[in-house]
Amino acid sequence: MEKLTGRADEQQILDRRIASKEAELVAVYGRRRIGKTFLVRSFCKNSLVFEMTGIHNASFTDQLQNFMTALQQASGRKAPVTASRNWLTAFALLDNYVDTLPVNKPAVIFFDEFPWIQSPKSRFIQAFDHWWNSSASKKTHLKVIICGSAASWMIDNIVHAKGGLHNRVTQRIRLEPFNLGETEAFLKSRRVVLDPYQVLKLYMAMGGVPHYLKNITPGESAAQVIDKLYFTKDGLLKTEFNELYQSLFAHAEQHEKVVRALSRKVGGMTRNEIIRDCKLSTGGTTTKILKELEESGFITPYIPFGKNSKDSIYKLSDEYSLFYLKFIEGARATGKGTWLRRSGSASYKSWSGFAFESVCQKHTSQVKKALGIEGVLTNVSAWRHTPARKGEQGAQIDLLLDRADRCINICEMKFTADLSSGSKKKYAGELDNKVNVFRRETKTKSTLFPTMITTYGTRQNEYYTGRVQAEVVMADLFK
């Protein structure tokens, strides 16, 4: 089996739960292609005693037969296990098998694609929670792991369950894409050796989704990879968007509306702005859609400086969706070589700037470490000021680190530092404006540190000296 790369925090969690002296019910969820199944199978391979994978859109009869086949394989019986007509009996048979196992070592029972097993009128979830509450939870060596990509179902029926499983999950693991360092390590484990700049460009286009990264061939540049996966006739990521949201959410059309709206407003939108743009209701439906997108890692809410959560600014934080909606959907130019021709265009430069900002916002722990403030309590936020009067200047800060030591890092993120003298002067003026407007409008007493986050660093010149107080470079984001 392929070696497990990264996932250090998740491995520690699983190790602790499997070694515990209590029965455990662990829920693992996350977007499609993120590596949930691989994580569980790889880490739990020495303790796995039963595994069943739900069948998409299968009938009750087929799901039940699938369960019985899995039980037969787990128990090692050559003859079929006694047939069951319902899930209550099926779980009683699973109990009989579990009772044959030694109690002095952990026994992991793994239900993969758990939401798919719940077919209409099957009463699977009722039988499962009855089995857990009446039997499995009493067996201290038993560790039950349920996993699913259907995020809305997992959140409603498991994580925030109101029935028999209410507060029964002992651990939940939301599996997220790799960060830059994990992405680089994963690629190296597959003999794909690229310098950090090439890895960063790949990450900006497809994020740290393991299944996407597995399709990179050694010896290809970032531009070649993007060209192959997005623009060729059979490219994996050319059609992924059509299946991605449908596989995760019920009534996914509404989720796609929100994602499309945010892709057009890369600076972010408030909840009310999303409601107006997408023509959504003002009730719980919108809250549910936003929460599901957030839990699945597609959007990220940022609480503006000095505000509370109801004033959150939502941003599209999924690199794949942003790239697809910018360059693939409705594009006239396709075919091999398309990206190689377009990667120097004005639209590329615009996208790369926003994409780099999104990557920086995901790596705030690395930014803090580079600044030497990882031990300082810090609120990460964004801020924007829309002028009320004509002629007044507004300002937007996409990354603001408000520190407990009464200092604030106002971060300016630029994908390239290779700027003309005129551009340097322009950006220096923009940075000055952000600092001045922020101080004036917030009336903060904290010390402000203008901070640059760039690829290779900014050359020190008359626009840099005395203005930029701290700097973070691309290499720092990989640590």
Residue 32 predicted with pLDDT over 80: yes
Residue with tokens 């060596």: 141
pLDDT digits (tens, 9 = 90+) for 80-130: 666 788 999 999 999 999 999 999 999 999 999 999 999 888 999 999 999
Q: Tokens for 275?
A: 């409601």
- The class level of CATH for 8-174 reads alpha beta
**Domain segments of the chain: what residues?**
8-174, 178-362, 365-478
Residue 7 has which token pair?
Answer: 């996932």
User: What CATH number does the domain located at 365-478 have?
Assistant: 3.40.1350
Q: How far is CA 254 from CA 207, 258, 287, in A?
A: 23, 7, 12
How is residue 126 annotated by DSSP?
A: H
Residue pair 173/13 in contact by the 8 Å Cβ criterion? yes
The two tokens of residue 329 are: 């959907």
Position with higher pLDDT, 164 vs 250: 250
* Helices (H), ranges, 222-332: 222-226, 240-248, 252-264, 271-278, 284-295, 319-323
Query: Is 80 exceeded by the pLDDT of residue 228?
Result: yes
Buried b (16+ CB within 10 A) or exposed e, 30-57: bbbbbbbbbbbbbbbeebbbbbbbbeee
**Span 31-48, mean pLDDT?**
93
d(CA 230, CA 253): 23
Give the pairing of strands 447-454 and 470-473: parallel
**Tens digits of residue pLDDT in 258-309:** 999 999 998 899 999 999 999 998 778 899 899 899 988 899 999 888 888 8
Element housing 378 (H / E): strand 378-385
